Structure formats: C-alpha cells, structure tokens
Amino acid sequence: MKFKNIILSFILLFVTWMLLNNKFDIQIVGVGLVVSLFVSFAVCSKCEIFSKVNVSPKGIIYFFLYFFVFMGELIKSNLDVARRVIAPSLPINPGIVEVETQLKTKIGRLVLANSITLTPGTLSMDIKDDKIFVHWINVTDADKENATKEIVAKFEKYLKVIYG
Amino acid sequence: MEYIEIIGAVVTLIGTIFLFLGSLGLIRMPDVFNRIQTGTKATTLGTMLTLLGIGLIHLDWAGKIIVLIIFVLVTNPVSSHVLARAAHYIGIPLTSKTVVDKMAQKPAITVKKGDKLKEED
Amino acid sequence: MVNIILYTALGFVALALILTIIRFLIGKSVVDRVIAFDIMTVTSIALIGIISHFTDRVIYLDISIVYGLLSFISVIVIAKYFEKGL
C-alpha cells in the first residue's frame, strides 16, 4: 500500500518532467529519475492519496471512458453557457441544492467536485462529508434524490470503479 | 502539412470566441455565483482549445502544451469552488431570481464576522 | 492564411480582456473583482500562447505556466483570507 503511493507519485513527477523538457538526453533522464525518486520517497512515504486508486486494466479502461464522457459534458456545458449569455432575455433560474455522493475517498470526491463544476449549469460550492452543495443555474427539481440522479449519477458509476 | 496548421488556427479562433463569451457573461449575469459559473466553464474550454490550436501549429511544442492544458483543467475549477464558498460565507446576496438556497439552512459558525464584512461593502 | 486567422483570434482575446477589466473596475463587491482578476489571468495564459506563436519562442510557454501557478495560489490565499483571516 505504501509502495503504491510512492510508485504512482514517481510516475507522475517523472512524466511531467519529461514533458516539460521535451527531449531524450541522458543527462535529463538521469536528473529526472534521481530527483523524482527522492521527492516521491521524501514526500509520499506517509501520504494516502493514491492508496485506493484502482490500477487494474478495468480501472484504466473506465478511466478512459470517464475521460470521454467528461469531455463531451464539457463541450455541452460550454454551448449551454454560450446560449444563455447570448440570449437577450437571460434565461436563468438559479438556486443552491444539496446532493449526496457514495464515494468514500478524498481524491474521488475531489474529482467528482471538479467534474460537477465543469458540467452544464452546475457549480460545486461546499462539501460536508458525503453531501455536496451545488449552485444550479436552472433548477428543475430541488428535491435531494432527483437532484442527485440528475447531477451526480452520470459520473459516479465510472468514478466508483476508479477511485472506490 | 499546411492543412494541419489551418486546422490549428481555426481551433485557436474557436477557443478565443469561447473566452470572449465567458467575459461577456461576466458582464451580463446578475450576481456573483452566476458570474463564477459562466466565467469558469467558458475560460477553461477556451484556454484549452487555444493552446491545443497552438500545439497543432507547432507540433514540437506538444509536451509543454499538454502540461499547461492539464494544469488549467485541474486548477481552474478548484479556484472557482473556493471563491464561491468564500462568497457565500461572507454573505454576498443572491439574485432575486433565486429559487432555493439549501446552504442557508445550516448553522453558520461565526455570524458576526460575516455581517460586518457585508455592511462595509 | 494562418496569421490572418490568428490576428482575428487576438482581436477576440483583446475584447475579452477589455470586458474583464470593465467588471474589475465597476466591481460592486470584492468577490466580483477577484473573479475578474482570475478570469483575466486565465485569458492571459491563452494570450501568451498566441504571442509565443508569433515570436516563435517556446520559452513563453514556461512563463505562462509560472503565471498560472502564481494566480492560482493568490486566488486560494485571498479566499482563505475572506473565510478565516490570515
């Protein structure tokens, strides 16, 4: 469990370093290996942020599926914003509703809150344990179960597999 | 070779149009939370598309462009979330069109401080 | 052809920056000004990307990474100051 954290943070740091340098030189690869190994041992030997991440093939396939669903929602939300901004009558019906999540880990909730912020007409405002308060630009139903079904459910079925 | 550059330029143009629409929403929307909504969504996709277009024109810059796109995609929602929570905490009023506010029903921790800030503003 | 389209794109970025500066000046509440500042920096990242195409220097992208980092941290610090004080 401890080594999973170190290995995942090492891969993250090393890939970022190689992308920033953008060439394969023996000195650059050597410095990147040494520094990212040192940093991941020094910082991430106690942290637990990657402990529950599912790195089996099923988790990786679900990660890519989630990525495509997320990109589609992002483009849809931007077209929605453009339509609302251009319309002369400013069609908004805002309110703050409460939704519930079944995700247990911190990183899963972080990714879910970020996804809620970038999907059509919603903005996550506060997280208290398993409740998320969402500012919704066009409230269709203020009830908790229906709002959860409409906002959270489309991401949760992927994130539950990836982050647990 | 030339086609991919023209595609990149068109993608950049679409991205900047989204940036313009986001800041137009910043002017037109009636209260703070709706401004955060339009601002965050439009600028995230706008910046991503602009940088993607530049990356299509200069294919050898792809590494830095990818790092920058992932950076914008991760940090922009976080800063908007933090700002929205702070705005609700110090008691910025919602617009008169608001239908429901579930967050106001929970007990506030320090009410005095927020009230003072609201009056000064 | 590519440069003509990119000059049009620069025009849209300039319009976006002017609108955010208007919101920054008229403000009304302090959070409005912070949002205008945040959106101005993210728009500036895109602007630096386009300028790095015209000058053909990849080093400007590094500058925009650092710029984005500083703006993110400053927004977090300001929001924390609103909620709890420093």
Domain assignments of chain A as residue spans, ordered by start? 2-44, 57-163
DSSP annotation of B35 reads: H
Q: What is the mean predicted confidence (pLDDT) over A18-28?
A: 85
Identity of the residue in B9, B23, B58 whose CB atom sits nearest the CB atom of C20: B23
pLDDT at B110 exceeding the cut of 50: no
Residue A57's alpha-carbon distances to A8, A37, A63, A161, A162, in angstroms, are 15, 25, 10, 11, 10
Tell me what pLDDT residue B53 has: 92
The dihedral built from the CA positions of residue B39, B42, B48 and B54, taken in this order, carries a sign that is negative
Q: Which of A130, A133, A129, A128 is nearest to A151 (CA)?
A: A133
Residue range C32-75, pLDDT digits in tens: 888 899 999 999 999 999 999 999 888 898 899 999 999 999 99
DSSP SS3 for A93: strand
Query: Rounded CA gap, C71 and B26, in Å?
Result: 18
* Secondary element (H or E) of residue A136: strand A131-136
CB contact, 8 Å: A121 with chain B?
Answer: yes
Place of tokens 């969402």: A134
Q: Which residue has the tokens 């800063």?
A: B79
Question: Distances in Å between the alpha carbon of B3 and those of B9, B53, C1?
Answer: 10, 12, 11
Residues of C in contact with B4 (CB under 8 A): none
Q: Could you give the CA distance from residue A134 to residue B99 in angstroms, rounded to a whole number? A: 13
Would the ipTM clear 0.90, i.e. be above it?
no
The model's pLDDT over B50-79, given as tens digits with 9 standing for 90+, comes to: 999 999 998 888 888 999 999 998 898 899
Given a contact cutoff of 8 angstroms between Cβ atoms, the answer to whether B60 and C61 are in contact is no
Cross-chain residue pair A22–B61, CB shorter than 8 Å: yes
Contact residues, chain B, for C1 at CB < 8 Å: 6, 9
Token pair in block for residue C38 = 């945040």
Looking at chain A, how many residues does it have?
A: 164
Helix or strand or coil: residue A90? Answer: coil
- Residues 12-71 in C contacting B (C-alpha not used; CB under 8 Å): 12-13, 15-17, 19-20, 22-23, 29-32, 34-36, 38-39, 42-43, 45-46, 49-50, 52-53, 58, 61-62, 64-65, 68-69
> How many whole angstroms separate alpha carbon A151 and alpha carbon C24?
32
pLDDT value of residue B105: 58
Residue C19: strand, helix, or coil: helix
Q: Flag if B13 and C76 touch (Cβ within 8 Å).
A: no
Identify residue A15 by its one-letter amino acid code.
Answer: V
Helix (H) or strand (E) holding A157: helix A153-163
The whole-chain average pLDDT of chain A stands at 83
Q: Rounded to a whole number, what is the largest CA-CA distance in chain A? A: 61
DSSP reduced 3-state for C17? helix
